[in-house]
Amino acid sequence: MGIDWQERCLLFGADIPEQHYAQLMRANVDRLIDGAHTACEQISQQSQDVPEFALLISCVGRRAIMQQLIDEELEAFSETLGASIPVSGFYSYGEIAPNCGVGKCSLHNQTLTITTFTEHTACIDC
């Protein structure tokens, strides 16, 4: 999460046990924005229906890296899926999920989760 230059140490968001490893990552703003575009394109390709509502959950880590460019996530959404779709959202502190959909769940950082909703009426008389 940061560096304490006086103590000469790294600051983590959780405890790291002794003798364990931490994997550091470096964010790339352009790749984060491209990822938002890709996610929106996948949504439009997977459904023939236009979403009626969308919930966007963005990791606060993305906000820290992207700063004022964070609005480009919303622009990616409205450019790809349409500006008329009502959108709500909030910031999270990461996402707990398996890697690539399989295996043990772990904490992911700098994630963007997009959930879209479409109402369908069932034909009971059919």
pLDDT digits (tens, 9 = 90+) for 27-38: 888 888 888 889
pLDDT digits (tens, 9 = 90+) for 81-101: 888 889 999 999 878 888 777
Q: The tokens 């964010």 sit on which residue?
A: 27
Is 66 contained in some domain? Answer: yes
Is 20 contained in some domain? Answer: no
Is 125 contained in some domain? Answer: no
Is 61 contained in some domain? Answer: yes
Domain around 77: 25-117
Average pLDDT on 116-123 reads 80
- Please provide the DSSP assignment of the chain as one string: -EEETTTTEEE-SS---TT---------HHHHHHHHHHHHHHHHHH-SSPPSEEEEEEEHHHHHHHGGGGHHHHHHHHHHH-TTS-EEEEEES-EEEEETTEEEEEEE-S-EEEEEE------S--
Mean pLDDT of the chain: 85
Predicted TM-score of the model (pTM): 0.71
Nearest to 69 by CA among 96, 34, 19, 42: 34
Instruction: Count how many domains the chain has.
Output: 1
Pick left, alpha or beta for residue 106 (phi over 0 → left; psi -120 to 50 → alpha; otherwise beta): beta
What does the alpha-carbon distance between residue 49 and residue 38 come to, in Å, rounded to a whole number?
Answer: 18
What does the alpha-carbon distance between residue 115 and residue 103 come to, in Å, rounded to a whole number?
Answer: 22
